[in-house]
Amino acid sequence: MRLRPEDYAIHNAMEDVADQAVQQVLSEDRTACDCSHCRDDIKSQILNKMHHAYHPVVSGEPIPDPIMLEHLDTDTFNRVMVECYKALIRVKENPRHDNTDRPPLHNTTEGILRAAVSEVLSNQKLHLERDDVSRLMAKAMNGLKPSYTTTYKGDAFTRASEMDAAYLANVYSQIFKALEGLPVNERKTS
């Protein structure tokens, strides 16, 4: 079973929080560029400092309300805002918005996990329904470190870290933890 991005649906609620923080900071600093590239560059730097808050998007189940910045506990709120201001300064000093050869903001951890999940499901001859793949991906992502990027360089890092044995061991451990409690069926050979 080779998983593709369209085979499941997950969402990191931290992305909503980061969007709100970026919006707030940019509305206060009129000297900063507020183009979509700069927003994404700030956002990726915030997200890499926060824990994942992924949830599966499951058919028939309501999508959780976005986490509102002002409803975060004080500690988390402060961390988000500090990271946001730091990222804003970095992006203002070194804007990358003229670079047109850039992929959209993405979390390279998801690609690593997707490849590892594909391998586990194939090796164990397991079949998961779409919603359960979403549940598995969301739960395992929450045990892994974020690695958001807006460059292709991040994907080179992905390949390097794929070879790191300790990192990979953690990826597999998160997958097996997430598989517990899921209704897995042995794949029927046809």
List interacting residues with Zn ion (CB under 5 A).
Answer: 33, 35, 38, 97
State the minimum distance, in angstroms, from the CB of residue 154 to Zn ion.
Answer: 19
- Contact 8/134 with Cβ under 8 angstroms? yes
Residues 55, 64: Cα–Cα separation, whole Å: 8
State the minimum distance, in angstroms, from the CB of residue 98 to Zn ion.
Answer: 8
If you search the block for the tokens 């992006």, which residue do you land on?
A: 91
State the minimum distance, in angstroms, from the CB of residue 66 to Zn ion.
Answer: 24
Whichever of 38 and 137 has its CB closer to Zn ion, that residue is 38
Residue 66 neighbours by CB under 8 Å, 6+ apart: 13, 16
Whichever of 102 and 187 has its CB closer to Zn ion, that residue is 102
State the minimum distance, in angstroms, from the CB of residue 33 to Zn ion.
Answer: 3
- Contact 84/59 with Cβ under 8 angstroms? no
DSSP-derived secondary structure for 75-131: HHHHHHHHHHHHHHHHHHHS--TT----PPPEEHHHHHHHHHHHHHHHHTTEE--HH
State the minimum distance, in angstroms, from the CB of residue 34 to Zn ion.
Answer: 7
Whichever of 18 and 175 has its CB closer to Zn ion, that residue is 18
Judged on CB neighbours under 10 Å (0-12, 13-18, 19+), 2 is exposed
Whichever of 37 and 114 has its CB closer to Zn ion, that residue is 37
Whichever of 38 and 117 has its CB closer to Zn ion, that residue is 38
Residues 18, 41: Cα–Cα separation, whole Å: 11
Interior CA angle at 35 toward 87 and 50, to 5°? 30
Whichever of 38 and 138 has its CB closer to Zn ion, that residue is 38
State the minimum distance, in angstroms, from the CB of residue 104 to Zn ion.
Answer: 15
